Copies of this chain bind each other. A is one copy, B any other.
Amino acid sequence: MIKIVNIRDIAKKAQVSVATVSHVINKTRHVSDELIDRVVKAMMELDYQPNLLAGSLRRKKSSTIGLIIPDSSNMLFSGVEKNIEDILFSQNYNVIVCNSAYDIGRELEHLNTLRSKMVDGVIIVPATMDGKHLEKFRNIGIPIIILDRMIPDINEDTVLVDNYKGGYDAAKYLLSLGHTDVGYIDRISDHSHSLERKKGFAKAFEEQGLFFDTNNIVRGGFTFNAGIEAVKKLLEENSRITAIFTFNDINAFGAIRGLADLGLKVPEDISVIGYDGTPLSEIYIPRLTTVRYPIIEMADVVSKLLLKRIAEPVFKKAIKKIIPPELIIRESTRSK
């Protein structure tokens, strides 16, 4: 094993005390120019790199935070991750990325490890709706911010996306185009995201004195194939449909494909709106009208909130932030 150069070696070489070395490294008290020079020189010569682990242990602050997401290969999450890393890096933090794989057991394991590694805070997109362990985690003294999930019966810092608005905006836009018979592809099981969207969607109809017929809702997975299936079912049941709102972009692509199979063109025959605004949505033919998930804003808000919590750890009441998504109008929709 290679000898690790430490602060003591520097002190000896520079003929000063270890305290002085530490202080010049951290600029934490005044040191005469002469000593600074000697120390810096010694550090250079020995290729010294401070041991942050030792420092963290002493200081009880690791300058690393944990990010737990269900799946870092999902574009939504990887986008958030990248931006979080960017912001935090600029504040001298590193991020340990953990995949829960939508499994609460793994989530818990990761939480424990992160605690053990003394992270200064964590950002989490929880795997499930269960949040007892998150509360417990914060009680331990480590700030934790929940991202993009409404965990019921819990009072923790949360950064949410306004999915109600997402649904509302989509419906309102479709209505403005004259579409009143619209199909709705929902996820298989309810979930705050889908519930909110649906509420907003129906609200827009209401405001026009119309009624959104829930018979026009079909449930499917998040996948391309689910979109294909869904569209067929939808049109079988109601042939008057002139527009379709989907749960995500991939789903929308599937819908478009399914429609093509039926001999229907988008947007000429039927309009389609996606959700998420992943990069592909602007590449697809037709370019997809979609509700953009505010990835960058989420990363920004959640990072800053966490930083704030780390700086002022007193937790009196939970902070909630809600970020609006944005309707992006492109080529897959047109007036009736």
Interface residues, chain A, with chain B CB atoms under 8 Å away = 1-2, 4, 47, 49-54, 56-57, 60, 62, 64, 71-73, 75, 78-79, 81-83, 85-86, 89, 94-99, 101, 106, 112-113, 115-118, 140-141, 224, 250, 253-254, 256-257, 260, 280, 282-285
Contacts and interface: CB of A to CB of B under 8 A. Distances in A.
Sort A-B residue pairs by CB-CB distance and give the 7 closest, nearest first. A78-B78, A73-B82, A52-B116, A2-B141, A97-B97, A72-B82, A73-B79
Nearest to A71: B82
A250 B1 CA distance: 47
So how many copies of this chain end up in the complex?
A: 2
A52 B95 contact: no
Contacts of A62: 53
Nearest to A96: B94
A117 B64 contact: yes
25 contacts: A1-B60, A1-B141, A4-B60, A52-B117, A52-B118, A53-B57, A53-B116, A53-B118, A54-B57, A64-B96, A71-B82, A72-B82, A73-B81, A75-B75, A78-B78, A82-B99, A86-B99, A86-B101, A94-B113, A94-B117, A95-B97, A224-B283, A253-B284, A257-B285, A285-B285
A115 B257 CA distance: 50
Contacts of A54: 57
B140 A2 contact: yes
Contact of A285 (B140, B141, B260): B260
Nearest to A60: B1
A51 B116 contact: yes
A194 to B, nearest CB: 22
Given A64-B117, A73-B81, A89-B98, 14 more contacts: A2-B141, A51-B116, A51-B118, A52-B116, A71-B82, A72-B72, A72-B78, A72-B85, A73-B78, A75-B75, A75-B78, A78-B81, A95-B97, A224-B282
A53 B117 contact: yes
A19 to B, nearest CB: 20
A96 B99 contact: no
A4 B57 CA distance: 12
A269 to B, nearest CB: 16
